[in-house]
Amino acid sequence: MKAISRGIAAVAAVLVMATGAQASEGLMCEGKGATVDVALGRLVIVGVLGAYVEVGGNSYSTGPERGEGIPIITGQAFGDDDGIKIDFVDSNVEEILVKVRLTYTGNEDEPLAGTVTAGDVTADIACMAG
């Protein structure tokens, strides 16, 4: 349990360092053929407020205010000592459409890196908090 608490604190610390005191932060990730933008609430847990993802030639969105795309909602989001994991599902919660798997890099400019997967397409991404 302590490891989980430290991991959540580490997520919060990365976001606070990058953005200062705000009600919400975000992760902006890019890679070859992929973009992931996730708005996060500043909580002691990984609270996803919205997201827009492009991968494998498809776009996914939690709402039109985030951009046009296949509708998704947050299925689950988890932060631990290793990084952040987020699954986005269809609006009927029947299928995971997008998986985001990030680990801490120790790099101030891009503190998280990992993969985004949609269907059978996986792309490497590097992320900035902001």
* pLDDT tens readout for residues 37-76: 999 987 778 889 999 999 999 999 999 999 999 999 999 9
Taking the model in full, what pTM does it have? 0.79
Q: Please tell me the predicted confidence (pLDDT) of residue 10.
A: 43
Please report which residue ranges of 1-130 form alpha helices under DSSP H. 2-19
Question: How crowded is residue 129: how many other Cβ atoms within 10 Å of its Cβ?
Answer: 20
**Token pair in block for residue 12:** 């919060």
User: Do 87 and 99 touch, CB atoms closer than 8 A?
Assistant: yes
Q: Are 100 and 116 in contact (CB under 8 A)?
A: yes
Phi-psi region of 119 (alpha: psi -120 to 50; beta: other; left: phi over 0): left
